[in-house]
Amino acid sequence: MDLLNTLVDKGLRRETPTREEALAVLATSDDDVLDVVAAAGKVRRHWFGRRVKLNYLVNLKSGLCPEDCSYCSQRLGSKAGILKYTWLKPDDASQAAAAGVAGGAKRVCLVASGRGPTDRDVDRVSDTIKTIKEQNEGVEVCACLGLLSDGQAERLRAAGADAYNHNLNTSEATYGDITTTHTYADRVDTVQKAHAAGLSACSGLIAGMGESDEDLVDVVFSLRELDPDSVPVNFLIPFEGTPLAKEWSLTPQRCLRILAMVRFVCPDVEVRIAGGREVHLRTMQPLALHLANSIFLGDYLTSEGQAGKADLEMIADAGFEVEGTDQVTLPEHRAAGGCGSHAGAACGSDDGTGCGSHEGGGVCGSGAASAPRTDEPRTDLVAVRRRGAGTDIAPNA
- Please say if 347 is a catalytic residue: no
Report the Cα–Cα distance between both ends of the chain, in Å, rounded: 41
Active-site residue, from 65, 339, 347, 364? 65
Active-site residue, from 75, 107, 124, 142? 142
Q: Are 148 and 114 in contact (CB under 8 A)?
A: no
- Please say if 266 is a catalytic residue: no
Q: Are 297 and 52 in contact (CB under 8 A)?
A: no
Active-site residue, from 157, 187, 272, 334? 272
- Please say if 109 is a catalytic residue: yes
- Distance (Å) of CA 266 to CA 44, 216, 262, 364: 10, 13, 6, 21
Active-site residue, from 44, 157, 202, 255? 202
- Quick one: how far is CA 187 from the chain centroid? 15
- Please say if 202 is a catalytic residue: yes
- Please say if 72 is a catalytic residue: yes
Adjacent-strand bridge partners of 140: 107
Asked whether the CA dihedral 282, 286, 290, 293 is positive or negative, the reply is positive
Active-site residue, from 44, 69, 257, 266? 69
3-state SS string over the chain? CHHHHHHHHHHHCCCCCCHHHHHHHHCCCHHHHHHHHHHHHHHHHHHHCCEEEEEEEEEEEECCCCCCCCCCCCCCCCCCCCCCECCCCHHHHHHHHHHHHHCCCCEEEEEECCCCCCHHHHHHHHHHHHHHHHHCCCCEEEEECCCCCCCHHHHHHHCCCCEEECCCECCHHHHHHHCCCCCHHHHHHHHHHHHHCCCEEECCEEECCCCCHHHHHHHHHHHHHHCCCEEEEEEECCCCCCCCCCCCCCCHHHHHHHHHHHHHHCCCCEEEECCCHHHHCHHHHHHHCCCCCEEECCCCCCECCCCHHHHHHHHHHCCCEECCCCCCCCCCCCCCCCCCCCCCCCCCCECCECCCCCCCECCCCCCCCCCHHHCCCCHHHCCECCCCCCCCCCCCC
Separation between Cα atoms, residue 322 and residue 283, nearest integer Å = 20
Active-site residue, from 44, 109, 266, 339? 109
- Active-site positions read 65, 69, 72, 109, 142, 202, 272
